[in-house]
Amino acid sequence: MKEDYLKKLETFNIDSLPDLDEIVLASLQFFSDFDLPRIDTETYKRPLVIGSVNAFRIGKIIFSDTDAIFADEGSYLGEISQIEGIDAVYIVSASGGKHATEIAQETSKLDVPLFLITNNLEAPAAEYIDEGNILIFPHIREPYTYNTSTYMSMLLSCNGNHNPSSILSFIEEEISTIIPQTLGDKNAFTLILPTKFDAHKGLFMTKFDELFGPEVNGRVFTIEQIKHAKTIVSSDKELFISFGVENKYYGSEENRLHIPLPNECGPVGIMAIGYYLIGHIQKQHPQYFKENIAAYSKIASDIFGHQIKPIVD
């Protein structure tokens, strides 16, 4: 390992927030020697899996090989009333608060087992859930909304080929050396993914929302989806970034970047590599997120009725 990424993050504060790529590297280092809880995806035949924004997508990835029903904070009540055969409920929430508390209260009325998948030892939603059905996953200290170590730890509990040390080494040796220093010259980025990572599209689009808002345009498609009229309008300011797939058609040659993927790349690998690349886009643009997250946290605290800090310890 070339650097102690965790040590570099020990003392950051609101004036020295790390970029997303730094959190990725530290998270992979943190989980390189960790025994994590296991999420049971086999006992229940038709669970209802509920999460908000990226927690919804993480739930879809974790339960992708099941007959699960997926819902968010706006649709779960409708799913409960319309879908027969739901035999368990899983709530996915890093904080175990905000909408998760209301969801837990409502779904606790059902006569099925209720589980909470969270990173918060003091999750408010836990009030409505049997202690044995609360799965607490570890995380590192990171800025609010990054949710990198939080969701990475949940994905590491999935069946599959997950080796944080190998992913970290791959990024250090194969990815870090090919990141161009001209990302700041672009104001639009289109990420092209292998078809099997369709569920990850939302993870990456959410990061563009959080880090750049309307200032930098981020789009994400699979290699099959991009074939369908996604590139009628072109711009010299747009960079097409393909992950482990060949791009022969989209953008001029100088506006293409190929990012290799490890052999047998899984959900954790593509998440880490995608976030790492987005972190470098963040580094090379004005610091929109860092300049606004403190003010936003105050607004979010009012919206959700409890204190939300710009740094999650």
Mean pLDDT value of segment 167-182: 97
The residue behind tokens 């959190």 is: 23
Phi-psi region of 130 (alpha: psi -120 to 50; beta: other; left: phi over 0): beta
How confident is residue 295, by pLDDT bands cut at 50, 70 and 90?
very high
Q: Indicate whether 29 pLDDT > 70.
A: yes
Q: For residue 16, which of 271, 273, 293, 307 has the smallest C-alpha distance?
A: 293
Mean pLDDT value of segment 136-149: 96
Q: In this predicted model, what pLDDT tens digit does every residue of 38-70 receive, in sequence order?
A: 899 999 999 999 999 999 999 999 999 999 999
Distance, CA of 34 to chain centre: 20
Residue 302 lies in a domain: no
| Least confident residue range of 2-6, 142-146, 160-164, 226-230 | 160-164
Structure confidence at residue 235 (pLDDT): 95
Structure tokens, 64: 């992708």
CATH of the domain at 63: 3.40.50.10490
How confident is residue 230, by pLDDT bands cut at 50, 70 and 90?
very high
Residue 210 lies in a domain: yes
The structure's pTM equals: 0.94
Distance, CA of 45 to chain centre: 26
Owning domain of residue 122: 47-136
Class of residue 244 by CB neighbours under 10 A (exposed 0-12, middle 13-18, buried 19+): buried
Mean pLDDT value of segment 7-13: 92
Residue 311 contacts by C-beta under 8 Å, 6 or more apart in sequence? 12, 13, 14, 17, 141, 142, 143, 144
Residue 114 lies in a domain: yes
User: In sequence order, what E strands does 157-197 have?
Assistant: 188-193
Residue 88 lies in a domain: yes
Cβ atoms of residues 91 and 104 within 8 Å: yes
b/e per residue 85-118 (b: at least 16 CB within 10 A): ebebbbbbbbbbbbbbbebbeebeeeeebbbbbb
Q: Are residues 204 and 266 in the same domain?
A: yes
Structure confidence at residue 157 (pLDDT): 86
Query: β-strands 311-312, 142-143: how paired?
Result: antiparallel
- List phi, psi (to 5°) of 309: -95, 150
| Least confident residue range of 54-68, 79-93, 148-162, 299-313 | 148-162
Average pLDDT, the chain: 94
- What is the DSSP code (8-state) at residue 17? P
Count of domains in the chain?
2
Q: Indicate whether 162 pLDDT > 80.
A: no
Residue 25 lies in a domain: no
How many H-runs (helices) and E-runs (strands) does the chain carry? 10, 11
Q: Are residues 52 and 90 in the same domain?
A: yes
Mean pLDDT value of segment 256-267: 95
Strand order in the sheet with 134-136: 69-71, 47-51, 88-92, 114-118, 134-136
Mean pLDDT value of segment 263-277: 96
Structure confidence at residue 160 (pLDDT): 63
- List phi, psi (to 5°) of 136: -100, 120
Strand order in the sheet with 188-193: 217-222, 188-193, 238-243, 256-259
Mean pLDDT value of segment 29-33: 91
Q: Are residues 221 and 112 in the same domain?
A: no
Mean pLDDT value of segment 234-255: 96
Residue 66 contacts by C-beta under 8 Å, 6 or more apart in sequence? 41, 42, 45, 46, 47
The residue behind tokens 């040590």 is: 7
Q: Are residues 169 and 102 in the same domain?
A: no
Mean pLDDT value of segment 205-216: 97
* Residues pairing with 146 in the sheet: none
Structure confidence at residue 114 (pLDDT): 97
Residue 253 lies in a domain: yes
CA distance 171 to 251: 25
Residue 31 lies in a domain: no
Q: Are residues 165 and 268 in the same domain?
A: yes
Q: Are residues 215 and 285 in the same domain?
A: yes
User: Which amino acid makes up residue 271?
Assistant: M
Structure confidence at residue 159 (pLDDT): 66
- What is the DSSP code (8-state) at residue 14? T
Span between the terminal Cα atoms of the chain, in Å: 25
